[in-house]
Amino acid sequence: MIIITAKSIVKQDKIDEFINLAKELVKKSVKESGCISYNLYQDINYENMFTFIEEWESKKAIKSHNDSDHFKTIVPELEKLREKSADINLYKKI
Amino acid sequence: MIIITAKSIVKQDKIDEFINLAKELVKKSVKESGCISYNLYQDINYENMFTFIEEWESKKAIKSHNDSDHFKTIVPELEKLREKSADINLYKKI
């Protein structure tokens, strides 16, 4: 299993737009084969800080996620709403 | 439920020491009341990058975690092994 965290700092005036788009990505991604879980979280102290926490069965599942239409359509739009690029890590449990 | 992520960049020569200490913190923290899950992850691309991903029932459970002997003993020692302070966020699911 591989865990992905993707932390975003969103422009203050784009928070609602980010949430709506991100929720759409979540809805479509959880249906993908190899996706164990895919959730969106908002920082309880900083309303413009978010992270996805995703659990994937394999690198292969992640690759097909990155190649999916919804990823290729939504992720560039999310990028426009961020103050800077997302902070992305791929982790293994130890 | 509150999710905490605590991301660490560890000094290259302190990785094993960090893992051993962090595992001890995990072992003791998962036993605490209000702790839903508490796990340690290592970045699959950067061996000195780690994150804890913790799930807590409430702020109260987090407070008692932060006041616990094992937290007060281990966390300052982990801090000495990092290149810079941990990047900590408290999240709610949306």
What stretches of chain A show up as alpha helix (H) in DSSP? 15-29, 59-66, 69-80
Domains, chain B, ordered by start: 2-91 (3.30.70.100)
Q: How far is A13 from chain B (nearest CA, A)?
A: 18
Q: What is the ipTM of this complex?
A: 0.94
Tens digit of each residue's pLDDT, chain A (94 residues): 999 999 999 999 999 999 999 999 999 999 999 999 999 999 999 999 999 999 999 999 999 999 999 999 999 999 999 999 999 999 999 9
Give the angle A15-A72-A12 at the CA atoms, nearest 5°. 10
Residues of A with CB under 8 A from a CB of B: 2-3, 5, 7, 19, 23, 39-46, 49, 51, 53, 89-94
